[in-house]
Structure 1
Amino acid sequence: MNPIVLWFHKLGSPPYFDAFAKRWAPWCHLLGFVLMAVGVYQGLFVVPADYQQSDSARILYIHVPAAWMSIGVYLGMAIYAAIAQIWRIKLCEVLAMACAPIGAGYTIVTLVTGSIWGKPMWGTWWSWDPRLTTELILLFMYFGVMGLYAAIEDRRQAARTAGFLAMVGVVLLPIIRYSVNWWDSLHQGQTVSVFGQSKLDDSMAAPLWWVVIGIHIWFGGSLLLRARADNLERESGKSWVAKSAGGAE
């Protein structure tokens, strides 16, 4: 068997995943924090102020990565849920449900920083702008997945039911992404592009990419920690769980 395929197969084992998450989550958090700190420092204190929005534009170093993660985490949650629905892989159920509270956190940060940014730009903290409104609906979708998962006692049935809701919610993602193109919007158009031409000056873009890379690595650590906790709860009573808990102490 291919070594990579074998590794993925072993990762589906609850004891193996527990050891993997326990080992790598702290390193993900450490590396992610360092990269985000570098990017935020440069964005706040090194790069010049925007020629139109002045220093208020510096909030983009938090707002933009959080906004990308709010959508990306939801997509990841839906993919895990789809794999769990089709192949009944328990670890994918765990990972899908672990995504929900993390993604909700990123969405809250997106909405809060967007409101702070919007006040000096638009003269109001909130507007029922298409981008803002669809982002708020995304937050409610995260809450719906979390609430449904918590409401059903059987963990596997709860994950499958909540996962189905997550899959249905995927239709919202392209609406959020292209809302500024499809409707008249206060929200500015796309400034930063991963593959195309960005409107952001190179000196301002570099710190942003540090934050983007860091926040993805940080997310990996958070996902491992939350999935590990859920995995231990599901497997409670088994001998390896007691050994893992003893090792943690």
Structure 2
Amino acid sequence: MRFISYLANPARFLRFSKYATPIAGWLALALIGFGTLVSLIFSPPAIEHGQTVRMMYVHVPAAWCSMAAYTAIAVASLVSFVWRHNLADSVARSLALPGAAFTFLALVTGSLWGRPAWGTWWQWDGRMTSVLVLLFIYIGYMAIWNIVADRRQAARLAAIVAMVGWLNIPIIKFSVNWWNTLHQPATISEPGAPGLPFELLLPLLLMALGYTALLAWFALRGTEAELAELKSQRAATNKPASVKLETVTHD
């Protein structure tokens, strides 16, 4: 908590991000690259799904990051709504586009995986429908920032949408337990789950960690850009007016 309070100051955040951003970027590149190599070459096909199981190494991390990004947006929005903190708005806004991209990737790869696995591209079950709703929430959140001209008003409205929209996250998580769905229950994320063989678990964890590092890189870069834009806007607003004197000559 003290670390978060320390980073709440924009100047201190920029000093931190100066080192954290390249670390996150290189870590994402290394993990995703190595994870892709393991996924395509060393990971065996699954008994039930065959070669299509390799889609899991993209689909599951994308779905995880889509929910993680939105949860971070909701938390930052809560901080912004209660304490009126501009940096929290910048963090939340910077996570919206990558979060939406991960959500879209999860939907596309889920559809590509579902066709050979379940015999259908799309099914209006609880998991698929709630993830699609999440994409629409992301789009609505970003639309508020782009449509509302006043930043303070946009921040308040976007924060409300983000906090209310978070109710969809537990629906996504527990939809497989609440309703009859094509998706299987949790394999590794809950106590008592059956788990995965190590040769399937390793590439999945590598890709999940790589995607998470990539999400962190997007958040840091986006927040840096937001702070730079705010600084330039303040500089333009506070720029002293220049008075031009015109010399009048008399004949």
Same fold, TM exceeding 0.5? Answer: yes
- Tell whether the 8 Å contact from 2:186 to 2:193 is kept in structure 1 after alignment: no
User: Aligned equivalents of 1:195 and 1:184: distance in 2?
Assistant: 21
Per the TM alignment, residue 145 of structure 1 is displaced from its structure 2 partner at its CA by: 0.5
Instruction: Give the drift of 1:238.
Output: 5.3
Q: Which of the numbers 192, 195, 200 marks the counterpart of 1:199?
A: 195
Residue in structure 2 matching 1:14, options 5, 10, 16: 10
Looking at structure 1, the residues matched to 92 and 143 of structure 2 have their Cα atoms a distance apart, in angstroms, of 14
What's the counterpart of residue 102 of structure 2? 106
* 1:75 aligned onto 2:71: yes
TM-score, normalised with respect to structure 1: 0.88
How far apart are 1:40 and its partner, in Å?
2.0
Mapped contact 1:47–1:204 kept (Cα < 8 A): yes
Secondary structure of the 1:235 match is: helix
Cα separation, 2, equivalents of 1:34 and 1:155? 37
Residues 52-95 of structure 1: CA deviation (Å, up to 9, x unaligned)? 11000111111001111111111111001001111122111111
Aligned residue type for 2:182: L
* Partner residue, 1:174: 170
Q: 2:182 aligns with which of 183, 186, 191?
A: 186
Deviates more, 1:199-208 or 1:45-54: 199-208
TM-fit CA distance, 1:118: 0.7
**Residues of 2 paired with 1:103 and 1:237: CA distance?**
26
Moved beyond 2 Å, runs of 4+: 7-24, 194-199
Aligned letter for 2:184?
Q
Which of 105, 121, 128 is the matching residue for 2:124?
128
| Cα separation, 1, equivalents of 2:10 and 2:153 | 18
8 Å Cα contact 1:155-1:234 kept in structure 2? no
Q: 1:96 aligns with which of 92, 95, 118?
A: 92
TM-fit CA distance, 1:156: 2.8
- Gap change, CA 1:37 and 1:235, over 3 Å in 2: same
Does 2:137 align with 1:141? yes
Q: 2:111 aligns with which of 110, 115, 123?
A: 115
Residues in 2 aligned to 1:169 and 1:37: alpha-carbon distance in whole angstroms:
33
Q: Equivalent residue for 1:53? A: 49
CA distance in 1, matches of 2:194, 2:184: 13
* TM-score, normalising length: structure 2: 0.87
Q: 1:26 aligns with which of 6, 22, 28?
A: 22
Structure of higher CA gyration radius: 2
- Unaligned runs of 5+ residues in structure 2 are 236-251
Write out per-residue CA displacement over residues 180-236 of structure 1, whole angstroms, 9 at most, x where no aligned residue: 111111222222226554431122101211111121112111101111111111121
**In structure 1, what is the Cα distance between the partners aligned to 2:222 and 2:194?**
35
Aligned counterparts of 1:194 and 1:179: Cα–Cα separation in 2: 14
Preserved CA contact (<8 Å) 1:36 1:215? yes
In the alignment, structure 1 segments of 5+ residues that lack a partner are: 240-249
- SS of 1:103's equivalent in the other structure is helix
Correspondence for 1:63 among 59, 63, 79: 59
Aligned length: 235
- CA shift in 2, pair 1:196/1:41, >3 Å: farther
Check whether the contact 2:46–2:53 (CA below 8 A) recurs between aligned residues: yes
What is the CA distance between 1:157 and its match in structure 2?
A: 2.3
CA RMSD in angstroms comes to 1.8
Report the CA distance shift for 1:114/1:237 in structure 2 as closer, same or farther (over 3 A): closer
